[in-house]
Chain A
Amino acid sequence: MPDVALAAKTVQLKVLRYRPGQDAEPSYGTFEVPYTDDMSVLQALQTIKDELDSSLSFRWSCRMAVCGSCGMMINGTPKLACNTFLRNLPKGPVTVEPLNNFPIERDLVVSVGDFVKKIESIYPYIIPKTPKTVEEGPYLQTPAQMAAYESFSDCINCMLCYAACPQFGENPAFIGPGAMALLQRYNGDSRDGGQQKRLDTIHGEDGVWSCTAVGVCSEVCPKQVDPANAINQNKTNSAFDFFLRFVRKDAR
């Protein structure tokens, strides 16, 4: 990180600040940060924290776009700070705000507990179709079978899709794109037999039908998980399942 005092070139960051108990409401803090070509928004925030104002709070860890900690609004778009580079942003001040649609706990830190509960609610684990002991060895799964769910397993839980989703913005109870992708990750797995159980969690009004197919969730996904596709598949599955229920009842 360059030395603030010696920097030839600087960039201005406008960062939304909010300190509960101290600030009545959020407001912007402005920082001049030394600029280098290889600098990410995360490194700019770290420079602020280390050298200008150590009270600025934000989450980060891996620095390489896989831990999912540093999602935030950068110039109004949900992005990971670690793989958003200053050189790729338009000239002029960079605006950094906490992720949309989540309650702010402080500065750039938002509440994540509700998101984690949503993930937990869809039975996010293999419910074996055919139970097997370790001694019996691994299940067979062909590359084609794996391809049916693999992209949905790439979700890093960064919550950018929730920040982008207008439906989640209106209805915080909506299960949302990330959890739907995870649901599809397990429902599409050849080892799994829990499809019905998971479908039952998304029939309701806060489930899959809340989605109005805006598709912006997939646009902002930093890992090309395509949650919109997961939701579409489940709309079909949910509709089909709804229909099947009547058939099953009739058959009785």
Chain B
Amino acid sequence: MDHFDADVLIVGAGGAGLRAAIAVAEADPSLTVALVSKVLPMRSHTVAAEGGSAGVIQSTDSLEAHFHDTVAGGDWLCEQDVVEFFVSRSTPEMIQLEHWGCPWNRKPDGNINVRAFGGMKIERTWFAADRSGFHILHTLFQTSTKFPSIKRFDEYFCVDLIVDDGRAQGATVLSPVTGAFTAITARSVILATGGAGRVFRQNTNGGVVTGDGMALAYRHGVPLRDMEFMQYHPTCMPGTGLLFTEACRGEGGHLVNKDGYRYLQDYGLGPVTPEPRNKTMELGPRDRLSQAFWHESQKGRTFETPGGDAVWLDLRHLGAAKIKERLPLIREMAIEFMDIDPALGQIPVRPAVHYTMGGVPTDIRTATSLPGLYAAGECASSGIHGANRLGSNSLAELFVFGHVAGDEAVKFSRGVSASDSGKLIDQAKASAAKALSLRDQKGGGERHAVLRKEMALTMEKGCGIYRDAAGMQATCDKLAELKRRYREVTLEDKSAVWNTDWVTALELGYELDVAEAVAASALARRESRGAHQRLDGYENRDDAHFLAHSLATYREAAAPEISYGPVKITTSQPAVRAYGALGEALEAKKDAAHA
């Protein structure tokens, strides 16, 4: 087996992984970084982020306001010390990306321009048209090429972590090009593998978003935190789930039901105003907007499409010129995929799964409970999103915590020596053998693609926008059944080179573990908070019992064990979470009390 010895191993080369790699290279060029990605780095799912990245820059804005929006947006399930750190570090990271060339949109005088986003009191979303993630990812990838200490393993798939002496010391990776395995040993490991949205049927995510890093850590005893909080983005293409950015609404787009009525005013998000108003109507948070859609659907005020029922996203009043400048990708998608020019026609949209709020729990410096293992980006639960993430906080998170993870990994690597490499390689050999046995097993003849579809369907059915115990239990049972069937799948393709049948089967193993953590955590949370909404007698938030992070602990051949951990409250006591007119009234009252 090939062996590569690095100082720092980073799994995942999207926004967080690349930022971490650059941080390591800048902190200490003498340290070797192994940067592993299952796709070319510029294919990573950061590429599909559209709307932008939050960082306080306007003189009318404040870090306190960004903090408060984030904590209230997360329905008080946020780690408040981490949020405070995050908002303070975000703007410097945006500036750093600017220095590296990111083409952020500008005002006529050449200064940075920002746009409005849902749940944000003041405009603070830095954007590069509606291809923000694309530009950021390419900027980071291209910048990373100037550091010779970053050794990329492009298109290498991680099959397991190497854990010895109670700490993470590398990973076993598979090259689909050759079908051969490599043991990458390192003195610290950063997970930056992204979310797990593909476990749901209609989702906005790329095919690569299969929860790999979450499952890897989980199988090694690191619990997954707050996994019940899956974000439904309210404006997606029916059928494919492809995303129409929140910036459509940030730029002034409307959501209307089949009768042409701006229905959000019926769900505590009004009043309707001639000009867009922050934290009101279409600029409400994603959880509330997706929930409003569900209610409209129940009332029969949506319309049918082949991809499920839908409402209209209306951008016509923005005019062709603004749509072309600010929303070129949205325009292109609507025209190419749906034959709709958004300057002339309305776009049918419905909610789809978009983002995994939970993940591998980390402290404020990205350390997990496994020494030597760090996590950053969507795979992590840094604690900033709570029960509902605000749009444009997740891109910012990649750079703030990617940077910190790089710095921390450097420190850790300097302070420890590696275990005997023979021992580590033996472990890698065992992991490789296990991965090979999935490819080569005779099995019972069933295709894994069948299981993937059933998984995605049961997740949507039982763990959708609104949930009840019976539905969630049925999903848990179904997932247990799928895991049993997974052990007996048969791969048609036994070959070595570019065996994507095999790689997707390995991914499905990750997805099933993560899906189980989502469903079990959801079933156990007997309250409604943020993106977790119940219909069966637990319709309200219950701070007395559930102002707590869920922790799902992996168990071999059994459902995960669910426990709870405390939430860090610093300055913002849990309060009524309101938007629109009520939100403004409550805020005014709070300001008066402070004055």
The residues of A with any CB-CB pair to B shorter than 8 Å are: 19-22, 36, 38, 49-51, 53-55, 57-69, 83, 85, 105-107, 109, 112-113, 116, 119-120, 123-126, 128, 132, 134-135, 137-143, 145-146, 149-150, 153-154, 156-157, 182, 186, 189, 191-192
Q: Would you call B39 and A83 a contact (CB within 8 A)?
A: no
- A61 CB contact (under 8 Å) in B45, B101, B154, B499: B45
Q: How far does the Cβ of A4 sit from chain B's closest Cβ, in whole Å?
A: 12
Q: List 5 additional A-B contacts (Cβ < 8 Å) besides A54-B492, A69-B40.
A: A62-B48, A63-B207, A68-B47, A69-B43, A153-B138
- In the bound complex, residues from chain B placing their C-beta under 8 Å from that of A21 are 495-497
Q: How far does the Cβ of A182 sit from chain B's closest Cβ, in whole Å?
A: 8
Kindly state the separation between the CA atoms of A123 and B101 in the bound complex, as whole angstroms.
13
- In the bound complex, residues from chain B placing their C-beta under 8 Å from that of A61 are 39, 43, 45, 206-208
- In the bound complex, residues from chain B placing their C-beta under 8 Å from that of A192 are 101
The residues of B with any CB-CB pair to A shorter than 8 Å are: 39-40, 42-45, 47-48, 92, 95-96, 98-101, 103-104, 106, 108-112, 131, 134-135, 138, 142-143, 145-146, 154, 177, 206-208, 239-240, 242-243, 306-307, 329, 332-333, 336-337, 447, 449, 452-453, 491-493, 495-501
Kindly state the separation between the CA atoms of A53 and B501 in the bound complex, as whole angstroms.
10
- B96 CB contact (under 8 Å) in A55, A134, A146: A134
Q: Which of B45, B100, B207, B332 has the most CB of A within 10 A?
A: B207
Ranked nearest first, the 8 interchain pairs of A and B with the lowest CB-CB distance are: A140-B110, A50-B449, A61-B206, A106-B498, A55-B493, A124-B142, A62-B206, A126-B101
Q: List 27 A-B contacts (CB under 8 A).
A: A21-B495, A49-B501, A54-B501, A55-B493, A55-B499, A57-B498, A60-B207, A63-B242, A66-B47, A67-B48, A68-B42, A68-B47, A83-B336, A105-B497, A105-B498, A109-B498, A116-B40, A119-B142, A123-B146, A126-B99, A126-B100, A134-B95, A134-B96, A134-B99, A143-B108, A156-B42, A157-B138
- In the bound complex, residues from chain B placing their C-beta under 8 Å from that of A106 are 497-498
Kindly state the separation between the CA atoms of A191 and B100 in the bound complex, as whole angstroms.
9
- In the bound complex, residues from chain A placing their C-beta under 8 Å from that of B48 are 62, 64, 66-67
Report the number of A-B residue pairs with Cβ-Cβ less than 8 Å. Answer: 163
A19 with B497, Cβ < 8 A, contacts A61-B207, A153-B135 known = yes
- B447 CB contact (under 8 Å) in A54, A65, A68, A182: A54
Q: Which of A59, A62, A140, A157 has the most CB of B within 10 A?
A: A62
Kindly state the separation between the CA atoms of A83 and B145 in the bound complex, as whole angstroms.
30
Q: How far does the Cβ of A152 sit from chain B's closest Cβ, in whole Å?
A: 10
- In the bound complex, residues from chain A placing their C-beta under 8 Å from that of B100 are 125-126
A66 with B497, Cβ < 8 A, contacts A126-B99, A128-B99, A142-B108 known = no
A138 with B145, Cβ < 8 A, contacts A57-B500, A66-B131, A106-B498 known = no
Nearest A residue to B126 via CB reads A138
- In the bound complex, residues from chain B placing their C-beta under 8 Å from that of A85 are 336-337
- B112 CB contact (under 8 Å) in A109, A125, A138: A138
- B103 CB contact (under 8 Å) in A38, A50, A153: A153
Kindly state the separation between the CA atoms of A126 and B143 in the bound complex, as whole angstroms.
8
Q: Would you call A150 and B95 a contact (CB within 8 A)?
A: no
Q: How far does the Cβ of B441 sit from chain A's closest Cβ, in whole Å?
A: 15
- B109 CB contact (under 8 Å) in A19, A105, A113, A142: A142
